[in-house]
Each structure stands twice: as structure tokens, then as C-alpha cells.
Structure 1
Amino acid sequence: MSDSTKTVILHGGLLALLFLLQFLLPAYHHGNLARIMVLATFAMGYNVMFGYTGLLSLGHALFFAAGMYGMGLAMQYAGAGPVLAMSAGLVASIVVALVVGLLALRTAGVGFMIVTLMFAQAGYLIILYYGAWTRGDEGLVMPQALRMLGAIDFSQPGPRYFAALGLFATGFLLTLWMMRSPFGKVLIAIRENEERARMLGYDVFRYKLAAVVISGTLCGLAGAAYGLLFGYVGATFASVQYSIFPLLWVLLGGAGTVIGPLIGTLFMFYLIDLSSAVTSAYMLVAGVVLVLLTLFAPQGLAGELRARVWRGLP
């Protein structure tokens, strides 16, 4: 069986399984999986920059929050419906990603990490400073009446799940196509040896900027969808922890793999969820498991699968 056939079976089968789970899961896990798919899209956006291009960012909460607040403010103060509100979130995330990319890519390595972190912290402080509009830490609750598209109510479990699945499938297939295209192969070449890619005639800055914008846009769409589907927009989503989470999800699942972000997000979500039901020291449990995974599966879960079972895993 060829690698292309295996890829179609694996990735198509995963989407089919997620579709079927809508009808099989109990209410609690049904809601959890919808949330996981949105957050996995956030992680996929991060993976484009870190896993495929080799740009380690500590500021991706800024893109997530840009999409979320672009959507939320348009809905709260302009009375926009889901389509216009999501469009506002999309535009906000593209603009923020473009500005951050143009400025942050003037640095490299540790400098890039610090600059992206500074941008994210600036975004968080802006949200708090303009608390009269954003409600600061209290956040904005999205009116249920505005979360409807015709007869479709995104506050209800079924429409919310299918919307989350649609978002995830779009990001999933886009990432798969992109990384098998010439553009994606150039990003991987930059990750592996930037100087050699430059010597071959590629405009490295332009490709990196494109990766930042695509990454920021995917993360912003995830943020906008999270606010729309779960009805809340808050400053917590712009804080440092939401810049660290996608890094952990990608590392756990397997950086530079298409399915890695979903695996990492699913694993981390339920690790915390299950351990918190047993002990109040659930973060200690999570920390121990993360250390063990780092020691014994340094390439992440999907990365180990690629290294040990299927070297052609995209």
C-alpha cells in the first residue's frame, strides 16, 4: 500500500470517526470533544510555525485573542450575526499576524521568542486597559439570540459539535494539503537548514512571513469559533498560559505531524480532566506524566509513531 493511500485512509478515517462520535458520545464527552476540536485547530495553527517552519513562538495567545475579541466585540456592540462576527475575527487575526510577523521576524532564535511574548503581553494589557469595552477579566457573554444563523442555534450541542468539526476539518485538510505542496516543503527546508534554503534562491523572509500569517489566521479562527460556540470572551484567553498550551499540545502530539495537534490536545485535556477528579494536585500529576513523555517519547506520540511504525506519516 502506498504512502498516499495510507494518508487518505488515516486522515479520512479520523474525520469520519469524529463525525460518527457526534451520535455516539454521552453529553459530557460530546461537549468536551467539541471544545477539543476547536483547541486542536489552535494547536494546528501553532504547528505551522513551530512544527513545520521551526519558529518557536511564546505569543500565540495574541492571535487566539485577536480572533476571539474581533468576533466578540462585533457581536456585542454592532449586533453582528455569526457570519459577520466570524469575518471580523478573521480580519483581526490576519492584521495582527501580519503586523507581528513583519516586526518579530527581524529577530531570530531567543530574540524571536521574547518579541512574540512581549506582543502577547501587550495584547493582554490592552484588553485589561480598555476594560470599559472588553470587560477585562470579567469578559463578555455572547447573547444567545445573536449566536443563531437562521434556525441553527450554535449554543445547542448538535450545531456546536458540527461547527467545531467543520472548523477542525478545514484546518486539518488545509494543513495536510499545504505540507504536501511545494510551499510546505520549502517551510520544512527552512526549518532544517535556513541558510541552505536561502542559498537555493528562496526568499526566506517571505516564506516565514507567510507561515506567521497562516498560523495566526488559523489560531484567530479557532479563537473566534471558541467565543461563538461556547458563548464567552475573556482576558484569560490572552494570558501567557494560552501561549504555552499550544506549545505543550504540539510537543506532546508530535511537532511537524498533521495529526499531532489533535492527539496532544486530546491527551492533555483528558489528563487534566481525569486527574482533577482524583486529586486537587492534578497539575502535579500532569507534570509528572509530561516529564515521562518527554523522556521516553521525545518526538511526541505521533512523532514516535512516525519514527517506529510509519516513516511516511505526514
Structure 2
Amino acid sequence: MTLIQTVTTDDLVIQVADRRLSRPDGSVFDDDYTKLVCWNTSFTVGFTGLARIDPAQKKSTSEWLAETLCDYASFEDGVDALRYWASGQIGQLPTGKGWEDKRLGIIIAGFDRRRIPLVAEISNFDPEAPIPANQNEFKCYRIRRAPGHSASFRITGAALTEKMYANILLRRVPRMLKQQDGITRAARLMVALQRRISEDNPGVGRHAMAVAIPRERTMPAVLSNLDAPSLNTMNSNFCYFDDAGFNYKQLGPHMAGGGWAWADFVAEADPSNPDMQKVGGRVLKCPQPPPQAESTGC
């Protein structure tokens, strides 16, 4: 399976994802854009598993996530909605040859007004077990930090060796986050770990996206630095790590919130004049007006 890494501390969430996706027959490919969603500028949402979530295999799972979440304001309501609707979507898919693998794992992490890290995983499979016979049943798990640790880690999808988990995630990432510009260094280390795994696991891609959600944010926005591959702790922000090196064209996460859902978000700067910047996206869903009340003749 593909790989989603999620790190949370009291003050920060970092999520790193590749762009590789799975088909029901087990084959994989790289998405044209991204598989992360930024929800209400407060949560980052990643998934591993099925690339398309409809019987015709045309509906992007990441777009479906954005369209589903955009109508919900609270963490619990959004998580419950994903669990409920994911069961229905998977239940509509065909069975039989070519549809053996319908596994889907979704992880949500971020902060709301409670000012504590909130993390939940919604999944229809056990990563350490064979593909389940019933893939229509989704369970939800709240992820909490182990006592005595300054950070918690969640790996969704591809497995890590015990050495990778202990040496990189448990030791090096927490130390980096305490250093100057530690958030960028930690994200780069997570990307390097992803690429190391991809050498032995064809289900994991080399391109990567990182989304950072600080607890304290100066504005309700999602930003990116188009001058260098870096993250900050001032606002929700993202960075795209192209396998070929830094690119002034930064692929962004899908956006969801307030009834709006956006896909194919791109921020781009002119390499010869980086101050000349532009952003673009595609509207998936817009707020629906309330139903018109029947006239009472008043």
C-alpha cells in the first residue's frame, strides 16, 4: 500500500504523503495532483488505498473526501460522516475478479478551539492482516499520544521496520522539531524515509507533499513558500517535494470548508522573477442555498 506519515505534538501537526495510488486489481500509479485535503484550514486529511471510489472508477477518492468534509464544521461530525459514507461508497463497488482489494484508510489530524491535537483514523482493514472478506465495514479509532512522549506518530498504509520507526520517528524527528527551522528539517527527514521505503516497496511513490497545521495560527488561510522547499509554524501551510528537486510549481492539497470544495490547487512562481506568483484551482462543490419556504401570504 501507499504511505501516509502523521506526526503530532502539543503545538503542531505534520502530515507527509506520496502521490501513489492503488487500483482494485492491486496495481498502482501516481496521481496527477495530490491525495491530501486541508479541511477548514485546521485539519490535514490523508488516505491510502483505493484511488477511485465509484463503480465507474472515475471519482477521485481525494476529491470525494473534500466534497464530503466541506459541509461539516466540527471534527467529530466530519469523522462520523466519513466513516458512514465510506461504508456506503465501498458497498456500491462491484465484487469478483479485479475487485479483490478495496481497502481504504483515512487519517485526519489537526486542531480546533480545544487547542489539543485531534487525530482519528477510519479504516476497513488491519494492516497486519490479509485483505478482509468484508471490506464494507469501516471502524474509527482515536489516536492519542503514549504517556511520556513529546510527539505521537501514525503510519497509515505501508509498513516501516522497527529500526526505521525507532531511529527516525521516535528519536530524530522530535529532536529536530525543537531546533531552529526544525519543522522543515523534520518534514524533509520524513520525505527521505518515504523515498527509502519506496526503494523496496513499489506501492510507495517518491514525490511527496507535506502539510503543516500549527495550533496557533495568525490567519485562517493555507499558504506556501514559493522561494524554497520549507514549512513554517505561523499558518497552515504546505510544501511539495518533487523527486527531481525544488520546483517553482507547488502542487497543493485539496481544500474543503464552509460548503466549498476545491481540487487541483497549484501555487506557482516565475523562476526568473519569483515575486510574480499565481494560484489556481478547480471548484468541486459550492455552498447550496437553503430550500425556499412555501409562501404563507404574509
TM-score tier, shorter chain, comes to: under 0.3
Determine which structure has greater relative contact order: mean sequence separation of CA pairs < 8 Å that are 6+ residues apart, divided by chain length.
Answer: 1
Structure in which a larger fraction of residues adopt strand: 2
TM-score when normalising by structure 2: 0.27
TM-score (norm 1): 0.26
Structure richer in helix, relative to its length: 1
